[in-house]
Amino acid sequence: MPTRSGLTMSHWLTVKGQDPMDTTAKVAIVTGGASGMGQIYARRLAARGTQVAIFDVNQQGLAATAAESDNLHAFHCDISSLEDVNTKVAQVEEQLGPIDLLVHAAALMPAHALADHSHEGMEQLFRINYFGTTYMVRAVLPSMQARSSGRIVAFGSIAGTALVPKMGAYCATKAAVNAYIEVLQNEIRDSGVRAHLVCPPAVNTPLVDQTLNTDSPGSIKESKQKGRLADPEKMIDAIEKGVARDKDIIYPSEAKLLYFWRTLAPGLWWKTVMKFEK
């Protein structure tokens, strides 16, 4: 897309001496790549010529997505398993080469009131959402640091700040992810490796369907019914722009508004979201 000066965005970034859009990434891993925003991101990278390893446990979705392009490669990976993550990352490096980019989008998002949410269910959420993040990051980071090059785009969530009823465990896992990535990006800032935290609002993807199929908050039900859930393609547009601008934390669409609302007026926030439960 041309800028006001007439240069394309990619040309402008090259002139600035950086390529935050990752258009030169030779090898990428995208978790959650069989559906939703992970799938969209993987498709876009593949279209730019990147060799993309898609990680997911959805075998049918993996096969269908990988069949779309010779640049998409399916790897069945359970990100809640440290052993599986390390094994599959090693396979990617062996088959495709050093990893230039990690896009970590995989997550689980059921909804349950905290009094009803089983300990086993909450532990599973943390294994997938939080520890899955740490496993993936730690699997790719040493090689990136050794090369003083690489990029990590990790999906946290505005739900880690703008809390809602019936999603307490999910909100807790995303608050943990948000904290982890924000600390990481500052610890590695001078290493040549960049980390970006993405905090989207509720998006119209199969992930939000997990919430709607359980004990969903009323606010999300109404957003779905009235067509107010964020469009996933537009979310990836906003994320790519945020990465292009080298932003540490990216709040697509209404997420920044929700962040300020919950932070500056928590009483009003809770009064509003609880009205949907009546």
Mean pLDDT by runs of 10 across the 278 residues of the chain is: 38 39 77 97 97 97 98 98 98 98 97 97 98 98 97 97 97 98 97 97 90 91 90 96 96 95 97 94
The total of structural domains in the chain comes to 1
Return the pLDDT at 37: 97
Among candidate residues 109, 179, 103, the one with its CA nearest the CA of residue 136: 103
Return the pLDDT at 89: 98
Residue 39 domain-assigned (yes or no)? yes
Return the pLDDT at 21: 44
Residue 254 domain-assigned (yes or no)? yes
Return the pLDDT at 24: 67
This prediction's pTM: 0.90
Residue 182 domain-assigned (yes or no)? yes
User: d(Cα 178, Cα 161) in Å, to the nearest integer?
Assistant: 9
Residues taking part in catalysis? 170
Return the pLDDT at 206: 87
Residue 147 domain-assigned (yes or no)? yes
The CATH number of residue 220's host domain is 3.40.50.720
Range of the domain at 257: 9-275
Residue 1 domain-assigned (yes or no)? no
Residue 249 domain-assigned (yes or no)? yes
Return the pLDDT at 278: 83
Residue 4 domain-assigned (yes or no)? no
Residue 43 domain-assigned (yes or no)? yes
